[in-house]
Structure formats: structure tokens, C-alpha cells
């Protein structure tokens, strides 16, 4: 079948989820004419297509939407503005000169040349193998996201008596979803001494349904021949090792894993981009450009977000900056570098420019109360509480950043000193 694609595009976006769709709109807003989105699924929308619960769009649209509703608004906007979406297609390789090889289920092998590229591949779930959970290998062990797809898109139940390891947001949401479908959720078990999900999800998905959350607890052994029959649960010590002499048994037929998300950066690694081990994504400048000129990154491939609204905000900016580069309007380089300090787990972007307002995303390493966040020695902000599962979003004006021209800034959070 003849290829429907042009030979050259101003901006090529890899990934058709919320980040990719928003990046394409951002590029169009900035004047890019020829824009292509490549997505490996049969429909654009990404993970939102299986997130049928509400809670999306409160920041961006100022109203509460389900995941498919949020995605559909962007899909229609993209199509109405003549952006090409190529689905059922996989990007095999991106050369340093931005020559892209694609394998398409409909058109076979394709090649296109981009003037700039936006990486928006999203993230994937960590699996049992990533944490080396001891035990047998029966049916009934799966990630929470797979269970979500089974229930919401296929109309299938993963089991009847469910245990959930990890308190990530997908696991919390699926605890509620499975209760609503008539399953028994025996509990959510978290290795850390604090939840890894948003506070609102703990309240709305667990507390409101009387589902127990046990912190500092893990699965010590999975029992079962053909199907999961029971789990050996154990508290953990300060080194997160199970205390086996305090273990107990939990009967269940299904174990869902909600143990973290990993940015999908195989393409980034192949491109030899500079990576940030704290986020699992590429290092980026204030324009969200990676270490390879003309390649930008946004959304969960850059760092895992809590809210799709923040993904959209970031991706719109990435698309605008990618369009500017495609049109030969590159902005001056950054001259302020950012470094993570005390109690800061990650920071994006990794450098700033004082010529415009900047948005910084941060995460803390542990829960903190009554603390102060400092950037260098001339900016501070007081917080009543900070937790690792909720990203901090800071906006710094050009008038603030101008004071730091050419500096290396350390971002830290410390307990507040009360006089």
C-alpha cells in the first residue's frame, strides 16, 4: 500500500498519548505547518483510553472529565488542525540527523525526515521481575495497569479475591474499581512507610471503601500451583527487608502489582541522549530540548507525572519550542544550572534561562512537614507538608531568575526554623 506520508515534516511527535497530542497542538500554535504523530496503538489517546474514572482536566479545562473524554478533546483538536496521526506504527530508529525509520502495520517500512522531534512515548509499569518477588509462578499475578485494561476495555475480571502490592495511583484506583465490580480487595500493601499515591486517591479509593492500607509491608512469598492461592506477607525493617518471623498468610486468587512506573526510553538510549538517573528520562534544558539538538522530550517519558493536566502543560511548551527550532528560531542557550540538594529526589528541567518565566517540577525524597524550599540563597517558599507522591510545581519569573545569571543553583528542602 502506498505511503500516506510526506518525505519531510517540520515536527514529528513520537507517541500519541496526552503528551504527544498536546505537543502537536503546541507546535501548530507556534507556526509549524507539517506535523506528524506516530503511535504504536490502533487509536490515539494513550493510557487515557483505559482510565474511565473521572478526575482529569480540573486544571486545564476547569472541569472534571474521564480519561477518554480528556483524550477525545485533544484528538478532535489535533485532527481539526490538519495534524497527521499515523497509528499502528512503531518508530524503529531516529538518526542524529533526525531521519526516522518506521514500521507500520498498514504501510510496512516507512522513512521520513524531521526538522525537529518530540519524544512523548510515556512510561510502562514495573513488573514482578523488577522487584524479584519470591515464590512460584502461577496465574493471577499481573500489573495494576493490565488489570485496568482487562476490566475497563475488555469487560473481564482478573480474579475474585484481590491483593495489591504497592500503593501507586493505578493500584489505588483499581482497588476501588474492583470493589465496584463485586470483587473482594483484601488489602493494599506498601513497602515504604508512606503511600506512593496521591492523597485524594488514598481517601477516595481506600478510605471511602474501607480497604485496608498496610505500610512497611511486602509479599515475602507467592503460593499456588496453577493459580495464586495465598501470599506470605511480612513487615519490613529499616533496610526494606522482610521480617520473616513476623509473617502471616493472606488467602487470595490474584495479586496486582502497583510498584512504580518507568519512562519508555529505549529510543532515547539508542540516540545516546544524556539521561538523568533520578527521573529515568533525558536531561533537558528550559526549552525541554535534550542533549541532541532538535530532539525534545515531554510527559512521562521525561519524568513520571501525577496529573495529566501537568503533562499537557509541559507538552504544549515542548511542541512550541520544537516548532521554533524547525523554523530556525532557536532561543539563546541556558546559563543557569540546577542541582538537587537536601531532600530533593529529582528536578526538571536541568537548566534555566533568565529571559522568560520558567516552570520547575520537583519531587522530595520523603514526607516533610513545616518545611522551606530554597533555590540558591535568594529564593524560598514555605510548605506545610510535602510528600514524594505529589509533584511540586514552581513558577519562577524572569525578574527572579535574572538575579542568578550564570550561577549553579542548588534546590533544597529543610525543616523550617521557627524563632
pLDDT-based confidence at 131, cuts 50/70/90?
confident
Q: What percent of the chain has pLDDT over 70?
A: 99
Per-residue pLDDT at 378: 77
The pLDDT score that the predictor gives to residue 2 is 64
Per-residue DSSP letters for 216-283?
A: SEEEEEEE-SSB--EEEEEEB-TTS-B-GGG-EEEE-SEEEE---EEE--HHHHHTT--EETTTTEE-
Residue 149 has pLDDT above 60, yes or no: yes
Cell of 372: 522551606
pLDDT in tens, 16-42: 999 999 999 999 999 999 999 999 999
d(CA 333, CA 350): 12
Give residue 376's pLDDT.
Answer: 83
The closest alpha carbon to 194, from 166, 222, 225, belongs to 166
Average pLDDT estimate for 325-343? 90
Residue-range domains of the chain with CATH = 8-124+262-326 (3.50.50.60), 127-259 (3.50.50.60), 336-415 (no CATH)
Distance CA(217)–CA(398), nearest Å, equals 46
**Which of the four pLDDT bands, split at 50, 70 and 90, describes residue 354?**
confident
pLDDT of residue 334: 84
Nearest Cα residue to 44 out of 28, 21, 12, 60: 21
What is the pLDDT at residue 245? 96
Tens of pLDDT, residues 51-98: 999 999 999 999 999 999 999 999 999 999 999 999 999 999 999 999
Confidence at 418, pLDDT banded by 50, 70, 90: low
pLDDT at residue 405 above 90?
no
Cβ–Cβ under 8 Å, residues 86 and 55: no
| Residue 109: Cβ-neighbour burial (10 angstroms; 0-12, 13-18, 19+) | exposed
- Residue 32, all three cell numbers: 509549524
Helix axis angle, 18-29 relative to 308-326, nearest 10°? 40
Distinct helix (H) and strand (E) counts, the chain: 9, 29
Burial class (CB in 10 A: 0-12, 13-18, 19+), 304: buried
C-alpha cell, 351: 537548566
The bridge status of strand 379-386 relative to strand 368-375 is antiparallel
- Terminus-to-terminus CA distance in the chain, angstroms? 74
Per-residue cell: 226: 496453577
Per DSSP, 140 falls in state T
Q: Which residues contact 240 (CB under 8 A, 6 or more apart)?
A: 191, 192, 218
How many residues are given for the chain?
419
pLDDT bucket at 419, cuts 50 / 70 / 90 = very low
Instruction: Decide if pLDDT at 226 tops 50.
Output: yes
Amino acid at each position: 500500500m502506498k505511503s500516506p506520508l510526506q518525505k519531510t515534516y517540520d515536527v514529528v511527535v513520537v507517541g500519541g498519548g496526552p503528551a504527544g497530542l498536546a505537543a502537536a497542538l503546541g507546535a501548530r500554535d507556534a507556526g509549524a505547518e507539517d506535523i506528524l504523530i506516530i503511535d504504536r496503538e490502533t487509536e490515539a489517546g494513550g493510557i487515557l483510553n483505559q482510565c474511565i474514572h473521572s478526575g482529569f482536566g480540573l486544571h486545564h479545562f476547569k472541569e472534571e472529565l474521564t480519561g477518554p473524554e480528556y483524550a477525545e478533546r485533544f484528538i478532535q483538536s489535533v485532527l481539526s488542525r490538519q495534524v497527521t496521526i499515523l497509528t499502528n506504527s512503531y518508530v524503529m530508529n531516529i538518526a542524529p540527523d533526525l531521519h526516522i525509520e518506521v514500521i507500520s502495520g498498514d504501510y510496512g517500512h516507512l522513512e521520513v525526515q524531521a526538522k525537529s522531534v518530540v519524544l512523548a512515548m510515556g512510561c510502562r509499569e514495573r513488573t514482578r521481575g523488577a522487584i524479584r518477588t519470591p515464590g512460584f509462578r502461577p496465574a493471577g499475578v499481573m500489573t495494576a495497569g493490565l488489570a485496568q485494561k482487562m476490566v475497563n476495555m475488555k469487560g473481564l475480571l482478573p480474579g475474585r479475591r484481590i491483593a495489591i502490592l504497592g500503593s501507586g495511583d493505578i493500584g489505588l484506583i483499581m482497588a476501588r474499581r474492583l470493589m465496584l465490580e463485586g470483587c473482594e480487595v483484601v488489602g493494599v500493601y506498601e513497602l515504604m512507610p508512606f503511600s506512593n499515591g496521591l492523597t485524594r486517591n488514598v481517601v477516595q479509593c481506600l478510605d471511602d471503601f474501607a480497604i485496608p492500607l498496610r505500610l512497611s509491608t511486602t509479599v515475602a512469598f507467592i503460593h499456588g500451583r496453577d493459580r495464586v492461592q495465598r501470599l506470605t506477607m511480612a513487615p519490613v525493617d529499616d533496610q526494606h527487608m522482610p521480617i520473616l518471623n513476623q509473617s502471616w498468610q493472606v488467602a487470595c486468587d490474584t495479586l496486582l502489582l502497583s510498584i512504580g512506573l518507568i519512562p519508555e526510553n529505549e529510543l532515547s538510549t539508542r540516540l545516546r541522549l544524556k539521561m538523568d538517573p533520578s527521573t529515568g528520562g533525558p536531561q533537558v534544558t528550559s526549552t525541554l530540548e535534550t542533549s541532541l539538538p532538535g530532539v525534545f522530550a515531554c510527559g512521562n517519558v521525561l519524568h513520571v507525572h501525577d496529573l495529566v493536566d501537568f503533562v499537557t502543560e509541559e507538552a504544549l511548551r515542548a511542541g512550541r519550542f520544537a516548532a521554533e527550532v524547525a523554523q530556525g528560531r532557536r532561543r539563546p542557550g541556558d546559563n543557569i544550572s540546577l542541582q538537587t540538594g537536601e531532600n530533593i529526589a529529582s528536578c526538571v528541567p536541568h537548566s534555566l534561562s533568565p529571559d522568560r518565566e520558567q516552570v520547575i517540577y520537583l519531587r522530595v525524597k520523603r514526607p516533610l512537614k513545616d518545611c522551606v524550599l530554597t533555590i540558591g540563597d535568594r529564593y524560598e517558599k514555605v510548605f506545610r507538608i510535602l510528600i514524594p507522591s505529589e509533584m511540586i510545581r514552581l513558577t519562577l519569573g524572569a525578574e527572579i531568575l535574572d538575579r542568578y545569571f550564570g550561577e549553579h543553583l542548588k534546590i533544597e528542602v529543610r525543616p523550617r526554623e521557627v524563632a
